[in-house]
């Protein structure tokens, strides 16, 4: 179970995170409020939270508040919450044809769904010592140990089974807009796939009456029919509604239902997943990121648990809604689909589609729109276009080193990437700001995420040395500063992964106070608390053989959204920003920081 940290630990960690962001006077005030909170109302709330947690052993203390946080948010899901991960291309280039890839990936996704529902999907396990635990022998033995104690057997060899409770929401699931708080809806009985092309909605069954997956050649035939359908784009594409403010969308949805669209919407909401087929090829990585993060607004249904997007040239990616689950579940699905569709593809370039009557099997959904709905769609499109217009995405690849060299120098690759972001921001804006790094707590029952706070007194000191005090420091001193940053970041990462961060605990206490009608404690009204939670640099990392790159929008209007990956011999970075920040300059600054760090680690003297 996810532990509730000790209150004194949380306060200490919170103050450590505040220190680099505040001057001495501000810090004294924040410290005073924190200790007052720890001895008074904070202590009472903490005891109530622990008692409540002990009564709800079937879940974790963060589950309810975290779902609420997502589902009560009223901002549009696109750019604010939905993230994307794009697939690597198939190594066999002829398999990257849009129809072939769409058929193969759809079939593999359905195989994953069936395997999962039958209880045959291999458990997700984090192996700290894979030589011992990631073996056939271990799997054979652990299979016969009763499940109530099998996790303990895994712990003994440093293998940590991860929570898979989110997986069922991958399929047949949608976030439904409701006033004040949305709902998650899942209908596992539905057998059809939703396909979007040119803003038009199509559905066809992919599971037959006996629960078997439709033959690949039939899926291919139906997708070919949709790809060759020359219906014009609708004058009022419904997809835009799922990009609206949630309350606005909730009212428009009610209007849609009242206007005779209940059956069509039910088809959309209950579909196994949404396959979006785009009619253009991808030009470059920046175009790829824009396509997968937001697209044109008409050919997506952002409320589905995920959209599998495949462009004209067979480039594929996933855009996923974030309230139901985190990157770990989506990444597992993506890894399996990539592996299955590339190593054992269901169809080949030589395969012929089945001779079936697709015009009967495929249903095009028509929506009845009144003037208010047409006006609503027009307004949603205007807002969507304006948001997307304001968004910049930039990226770099640093090829002067990666994970291998950093491990050789005994520093953490993730710590170095995060240090480069801190140094870059300091170089560009001459300040240290609130920074967020996501860390999964899936090692615990119903764990979600915890925050690592990469901005520390160590990264601040190191940034100052590299940016403003270079002439005063020897290469050895700079190396020592990098090592200190790495050690501290390693400690924060370990604490967060073990449920010993401070962000979720403080969030849970605040949620409890509000739910009990208690006046919000002064601690939470401190400007420094608000500033720490205004995450100007929001970061997330992933490395996988299936994934080419991932990204998300900035979480605040004056922020950067940083998706990054540290590979064996290179580092990739994808940055989103709005006009108040210059993402291109930030990336150039990150590149310079990485260059400096690597040169220092190699023992070279660097110039300012």
Residue of 376, 199, 174 lying closest to 300 (CA atoms): 199
Type and span of the H or E element at 492: helix 475-497
CA 71 – CA 184 distance, rounded (Å): 8
Stretch 22-32: mean pLDDT: 98
Proportion of the chain in helix, strand, coil states, percent, rounded to 5: 50, 15, 35
pLDDT at 603 over 60: yes
- DSSP 8-state code for residue 87: E
542 confidence band (pLDDT: 50, 70, 90): confident
Residue 184 to residues 322, 409, 526, 550: CA-CA distances in angstroms?
A: 11, 47, 34, 24
SS (H, E, C) 5-44: CCHHHHHHHHHHHHHHHCCHHHHHHHHHHHHHHHHCHHHH
Stretch 37-48: mean pLDDT: 97
- DSSP assignment of 400-444: S--HHHHHHTT--HHHHHHHHHHHHHHHHHSS---EEEEEE-TTS
The pLDDT of residue 131 is 87
User: What token pair was written down for 109?
Assistant: 């996704």
CATH code for 80-120+167-337+365-390? 3.30.559.70
The pLDDT of residue 608 is 56
184, 253 Cβ separation under 8 angstroms: no
Q: Identify the bridge partners of residue 185 per DSSP, sorted by sequence position.
A: 174
Q: Given 322, 446, 489, 505, which residue is catalytic?
A: 322
Active site residue 322: yes
Least confident of 14-18, 132-136, 292-296, 494-498: 132-136
- pLDDT for 241-273, tens place per residue? 999 999 999 999 999 999 999 999 999 999 999
CATH code for 125-161? 1.20.1280.180
Q: Classify burial at 459, counting beta carbons within 10 Å of its beta carbon; exposed 0-12, middle 13-18, buried 19 or more.
A: buried
Stretch 462-485: mean pLDDT: 96
CA 393 – CA 542 distance, rounded (Å): 18
227, 99 Cβ separation under 8 angstroms: yes
User: Domain map of the chain by residue range?
Assistant: 7-68+392-602, 80-120+167-337+365-390, 125-161
Stretch 345-360: mean pLDDT: 97
133, 184 Cβ separation under 8 angstroms: no
CATH code for 7-68+392-602? 3.30.559.10
Q: What is the mean pLDDT of the chain?
A: 96
Residue of 530, 543, 506 lying closest to 7 (CA atoms): 506
User: What token pair was written down for 472?
Assistant: 């005063």
Least confident of 90-99, 131-140, 586-595: 131-140
Q: What angle do CA 244, 109, 59 make, to 5 degrees?
A: 70
CA 290 – CA 552 distance, rounded (Å): 10
What percentage of the chain has pLDDT greater than the value 90?
92
pLDDT at 585 over 70: yes
CA 380 – CA 141 distance, rounded (Å): 56
CA 178 – CA 186 distance, rounded (Å): 16
The pLDDT of residue 141 is 87
572, 396 Cβ separation under 8 angstroms: yes
What percentage of the chain has pLDDT greater than the value 70?
100
pTM of the prediction? 0.96
- pLDDT for 544-578, tens place per residue? 999 999 999 999 999 999 999 999 999 999 999 99
- pLDDT for 129-160, tens place per residue? 888 888 998 888 888 888 888 878 888 888 88
The pLDDT of residue 278 is 98
216 confidence band (pLDDT: 50, 70, 90): very high
What count of other Cβ atoms lies within 10 Å of the Cβ of residue 255? 15
- DSSP 8-state code for residue 196: E
- 7-68+392-602 and 125-161: identical CATH topology: no
Residue of 362, 475, 375, 462 lying closest to 419 (CA atoms): 462
The pLDDT of residue 460 is 98
Name 196's Cβ contacts closer than 8 Å, sequence gap at least 6.
Answer: 202, 239, 274, 275, 276, 277, 299, 300, 301, 307
- pLDDT for 394-445, tens place per residue? 999 999 999 999 999 999 999 999 999 999 999 999 999 999 999 999 999 9
The pLDDT of residue 3 is 97
pLDDT at 510 over 80: yes
């Amino acid at each position: 179970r996810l532990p509730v940290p000790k209150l004194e630990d949380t306060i200490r960690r919170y103050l450590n995170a505040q220190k680099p962001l505040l001057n001495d006077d501000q810090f004294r005030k924040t410290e005073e409020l924190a200790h007052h909170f720890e001895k008074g109302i904070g202590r009472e709330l903490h005891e109530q939270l622990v008692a409540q947690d002990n009564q709800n052993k079937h879940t974790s203390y963060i589950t309810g508040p975290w779902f609420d946080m997502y589902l009560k948010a009223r901002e549009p899901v696109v750019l604010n919450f939905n993230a994307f991960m794009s697939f690597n291309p198939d190594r066999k280039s002829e398999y990257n044809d849009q129809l072939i890839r769409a058929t193969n990936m759809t079939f593999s996704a359905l195989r994953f769904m069936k395997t999962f529902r039958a209880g045959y999907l291999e458990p997700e396990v984090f192996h700290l010592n894979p030589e011992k635990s990631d073996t056939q022998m271990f799997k054979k033995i652990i299979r016969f140990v009763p499940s109530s104690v099998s996790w303990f057997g895994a712990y003994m060899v440093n293998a940590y089974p991860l929570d898979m409770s989110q997986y069922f929401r991958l399929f047949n699931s949608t976030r439904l807009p409701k006033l004040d708080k949305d709902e998650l809806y899942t209908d596992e009985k539905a057998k059809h796939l939703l396909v979007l092309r040119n803003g038009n909605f199509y559905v066809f069954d992919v599971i037959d009456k006996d629960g078997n997956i439709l033959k690949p050649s039939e899926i291919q035939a139906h997708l070919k029919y949709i790809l060759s359908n020359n219906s014009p784009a609708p004058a009022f594409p419904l997809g835009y509604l799922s990009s609206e403010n949630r309350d606005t969308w909730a009212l428009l949805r009610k209007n849609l239902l009242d206007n005779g669209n209940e059956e069509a919407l039910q088809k959309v909401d209950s579909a196994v997943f949404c396959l979006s087929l785009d009619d253009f090829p991808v030009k470059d990585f920046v175009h790829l990121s824009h396509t997968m993060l937001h697209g044109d607004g008409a050919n997506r249904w952002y409320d589905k648990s995920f959209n599998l997007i495949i462009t004209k040239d067979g480039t594929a990616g996933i855009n996923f809604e974030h309230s139901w689950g985190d990157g770990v579940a989506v990444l597992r699905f993506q890894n399996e689909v990539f592996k299955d569709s590339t190593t054992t593809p269901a169809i080949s370039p030589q395969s012929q589609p089945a001779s079936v009557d697709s015009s009967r099997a495929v249903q095009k959904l028509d929506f009845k729109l009144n003037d208010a709905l047409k006006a609503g769609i027009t307004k949603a499109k205007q807002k969507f276009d304006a948001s997307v217009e304001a968004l910049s995405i930039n990226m770099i690849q640093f090829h002067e080193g990666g994970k291998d060299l950093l491990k050789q120098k005994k520093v953490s690759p993730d710590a170095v990437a995060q240090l480069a972001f801190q140094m870059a921001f300091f170089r560009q804006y001459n300040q240290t700001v609130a920074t967020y790094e996501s860390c999964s707590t899936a090692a615990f029952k119903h764990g979600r995420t915890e925050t690592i706070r990469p901005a520390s007194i160590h990264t601040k000191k190191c940034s100052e040395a590299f940016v403003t005090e270079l002439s005063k420091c020897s290469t050895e001193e700079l190396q020592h500063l990098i090592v200190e940053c790495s050690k501290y970041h390693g400690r924060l990462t370990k604490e967060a992964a073990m449920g010993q961060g401070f962000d979720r605990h403080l969030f849970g206490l605040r949620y409890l106070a509000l739910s009990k009608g208690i006046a919000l404690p002064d601690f939470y009204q401190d400007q420094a608390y608000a500033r720490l939670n205004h995450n100007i640099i929001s970061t997330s990392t992933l490395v996988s053989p299936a994934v080419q790159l991932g990204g998300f929008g900035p979480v605040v209007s004056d922020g950067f959204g940083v998706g990054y990956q540290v590979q064996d011999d290179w580092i990739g970075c994808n940055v989103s920003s709005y006009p108040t920040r210059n993402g291109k300059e930030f990336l150039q600054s990150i590149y310079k920081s990485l260059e400096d760090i690597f040169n220092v680690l190699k023992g070279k003297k660097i110039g300012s």
